[in-house]
């Protein structure tokens, strides 16, 4: 899993609390990430239809949908891709006793066990939304610090 997932999730939580579009530069400053690295993650989120950018003096990034409708899985898949972590190369069809293709319509039992586990992983990530995360952050972060950060996000670039 790439390090971009941590940043992208933090970014979405921040945007869910922002009252207006946040310039990419501000998002980078807020978490002390390089703007180049940031741009890559924001592009991935943008391609996945999770954020959109607007131009102009008040321009910046914003969530496209309600934060209650964006799941953690959406963000993870936007950044790291939706492909399976376990890839079956059909080793059962190799060697001196290969399974004939007609016996391989169904995935190998080993691949099924691995895919079941990935389904459980995805189901867990799908059960949490950006709004859920933002709610927990609001419960756990002292209101002064949260307020100061949101205030700063609104202010002029500096």
Summarize as ranges the residues that interact with ligand FES (CB under 6 A). 6, 10, 88-92, 108, 110-111
Q: Does 120 bind its own copies (CB under 8 A)?
A: yes
Alpha carbons 81 and 154: distance in angstroms, whole number: 32
Contacts of 151 (CB under 8 A, 6+ apart): none
CA angle 61, 63, 68 (to 5 degrees): 160
Residue 128 beta carbon to its own copies: minimum distance, rounded to whole angstroms: 5
Which of its own copies, ligand FES, none does residue 37 bind (CB under 5 to 8 Å by kind)?
none
Distances (CA, A) of 139 to 15, 57, 148: 17, 33, 16
Write out the two tokens for 30: 């807020």
Q: Does 107 bind its own copies (CB under 8 A)?
A: no
- Kindly determine how many residues on this chain lie close enough to bind its own copies according to the rule CB under 8 A: 54
User: What are residue 63's DSSP bridge partners?
Assistant: 51
Q: How many residues does the chain have?
A: 158
Q: Which of 24, 29, 39, 64 binds its own copies (CB under 8 A)?
A: 29
Binding site for its own copies (CB under 8 A): 1, 3, 5-7, 9-10, 13, 29-33, 72, 85-89, 91-92, 94-97, 99, 103, 106, 109-111, 113-114, 116-125, 128, 133, 136-137, 140-142, 145, 148-149, 152
């Amino acid at each position: 899993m790439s390090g971009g997932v941590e940043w992208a999730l933090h970014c979405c939580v921040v945007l869910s609390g922002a009252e207006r579009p946040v310039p990419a530069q501000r998002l980078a400053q807020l978490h002390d990430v390089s703007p180049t690295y940031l741009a890559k993650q924001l592009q991935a989120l943008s391609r996945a239809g999770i954020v959109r950018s607007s131009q102009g003096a008040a321009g910046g990034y914003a969530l496209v949908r309600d934060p209650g409708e964006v799941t953690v899985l959406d963000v993870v898949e936007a950044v790291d891709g939706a492909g399976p972590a376990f890839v079956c190369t059909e080793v059962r069809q190799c060697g001196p006793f290969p399974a004939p293709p007609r016996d391989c319509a169904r995935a190998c039992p080993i691949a099924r066990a691995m895919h079941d586990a990935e389904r459980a992983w995805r189901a867990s990530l799908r059960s949490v939304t950006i709004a859920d995360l933002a709610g927990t952050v609001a419960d756990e972060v002292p209101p002064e610090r949260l307020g100061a950060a949101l205030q700063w996000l609104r202010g002029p670039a500096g």
